[in-house]
Amino acid sequence: MKRLPMLINGKWVGDQNDEWLAVFNPSSGEKIAEIVNGHEEHVDEAVKAAQLAFDSKEWRSVKPYERGHLLVRLANHLRENKTEWAEMESQDVGKPISQALGDIEAAARYFEFYGGAADKVMGETIPIEDGLLNVTVLEPLGVTAHIIPWNYPIQIMARSVAAAIATGNAVIVKSAEDTPLTAHALSEWFAESGLPKGIFQHLTGLGSTVGAALSGHPGISHVTFTGSVSTGIQVMCTAAKNVVSTTLELGGKSPNIVFSDAPEEKAIEGVVKAIIQNAGQTCSAGSRVLIEESYKEAFLKKLVKRFNELSIGPGHSDPDIGPILNKRQYEQIMEKIEEAKKDGSIIAGGNAVTVEGYENAYYIQPTIIDGLSHDSAIAQQEIFGPILSVFSFSTVEEAIQLANGTDYGLVSGIWTQNIDTAHYVASKMQSGQVFINNYGAAGGIQMPFGGYKKSGIGREKGFVALRNYTQIKNIAIQFSN
């Protein structure tokens, strides 16, 4: 067990006089670290340091391609030490080690991708009239805040931090109090990277205190937040008081639509992986499956069999499904399962699991629920656990109506070998990403990611995310013969 200080203005902040919060390994319930319970004064100190660093000649003299080189160097570091980083992420979040290794590779790809893009963020010339040269310039915003969730800390931190640094901003990361390990390790790397102090800083503590103070600080130019709808609304309202833009990724209730001509084995594996990834604690989890009525019985029979074969255990043993993050999350999920037993039918799983030697942790069987009304709370609300709700449809239009029939619109999966059906349904989906005969597309580093409706505002990943961290300046130059 070790204490992890914050990184503020190039210095490690945290001493015996500070309040410290415990960090636990979800796989075992064991205390593995302590973090500083930060407060508003820490936020103010970090923002002021970031402003000075952003305005400094030292930072302005760093060329775009040099920022890119630094990010690529970090990508190489992650790959060269992937086992160590994956073990850290698995210990912190509880996820299976193979999934954690995938997260480290994804983080490396983000730093690599945006490192390569750093010197390719360009404006344009706009024709106006003879004698007038009009150009646009993309400039960094200034100080950007990155409020990171607990379920994919290294991935989600990498995708926004890399884009922000690539475009020349100063970055302040607020890690989740439950999962700070890889954020701290990244801070250690940046502290030794040669960046001007204050360009990368890391704050810890409660979201209600540090996160709120950060999103509402007048020195912040943009807030990137991933988390719940309710907290996202608070972040947006707080930032709006300073007329500050936000990128919000707020979860989903994503459907997989399975037609009778689906490629069966691919569809089964796709549906399974979409809901068990990180024990279902995933914003883009495929938590609903809509099956064509004539195919429902046959498909469900194989799906239930596959669910019953899944292994459950601590992350380091690399099971199919790891633990639930903590007691609070576990109790919320089990409450939803108990509701389902009254309103529907549990056809797979539905129970808590005790793993020998890990009795202080929280494990839940992957669960399939049939017979629910699509208007029920369980069918409409994000559960954030390995819980799959099943529905059926008779026509393409009914499938579309059901798929779009929630407040969310993050991801949709379509499984059919009919190209006309696939394209038509995709055109009608109210979701930011649509996958046909796959779900996730290897992480989709280059693919814009974000949601319709209450799934959020803005897009991350890909080149489009660079615009989150830049502003446009128009320059008109008049000249004469």
Residues near 427 by Cβ (< 8 Å), separated by ≥ 6? none
Radius of gyration of the chain from Cα atoms?
23
The residue ranges of the chain whose pLDDT is under 50 are: none
- On the 0-12 / 13-18 / 19+ scale of CB atoms within 10 A, 92 is buried
Residues near 4 by Cβ (< 8 Å), separated by ≥ 6? 14, 23, 33, 34, 35, 36, 180, 181, 184, 204
- On the 0-12 / 13-18 / 19+ scale of CB atoms within 10 A, 148 is buried
d(CA 187, CA 193): 10
pLDDT, residue 442, reads 64
- On the 0-12 / 13-18 / 19+ scale of CB atoms within 10 A, 339 is middle
pLDDT, residue 17, reads 82
Q: Which residues are catalytic?
A: 249
- Report pLDDT digits (tens) over 205-256: 999 999 999 999 999 999 999 999 999 999 999 999 999 999 999 989 999 9
Q: Are 202 and 14 in contact (CB under 8 A)?
A: no
d(CA 170, CA 108): 20
Q: The tokens of 439 are what?
A: 């779900």
Residues near 45 by Cβ (< 8 Å), separated by ≥ 6? 8, 9
pLDDT, residue 95, reads 97
Among residues 49, 23, 44, the alpha carbon closest in space to that of 206 is found at 23
Q: From the CB of residue 435, how many other CB atoms can be counted at a distance below 10 Å? A: 23
Fold of 2-250+458-474: Aldehyde Dehydrogenase; Chain A, domain 1 (3.40.605)
Tokens 């992480």 belong to 443
Three-class secondary structure of residue 173 per DSSP: strand
- Cα 399 to chain centroid, rounded: 27
Q: How many residues does the chain have?
A: 481
- Computed over every residue of the chain, the mean pLDDT equals 97
Tell me the DSSP string of 244-301.
-EEEEE-----EEEE-TTS-HHHHHHHHHHHHHGGGG--TT---EEEEEGGGHHHHHH
pTM of the model: 0.96
Q: The tokens of 56 are what?
A: 């400094």
Q: From the CB of residue 129, how many other CB atoms can be counted at a distance below 10 Å? A: 7
- On the 0-12 / 13-18 / 19+ scale of CB atoms within 10 A, 249 is buried
Structural domain spans, the chain: 2-250+458-474, 255-442
Fold of 255-442: Aldehyde Dehydrogenase; Chain A, domain 2 (3.40.309)
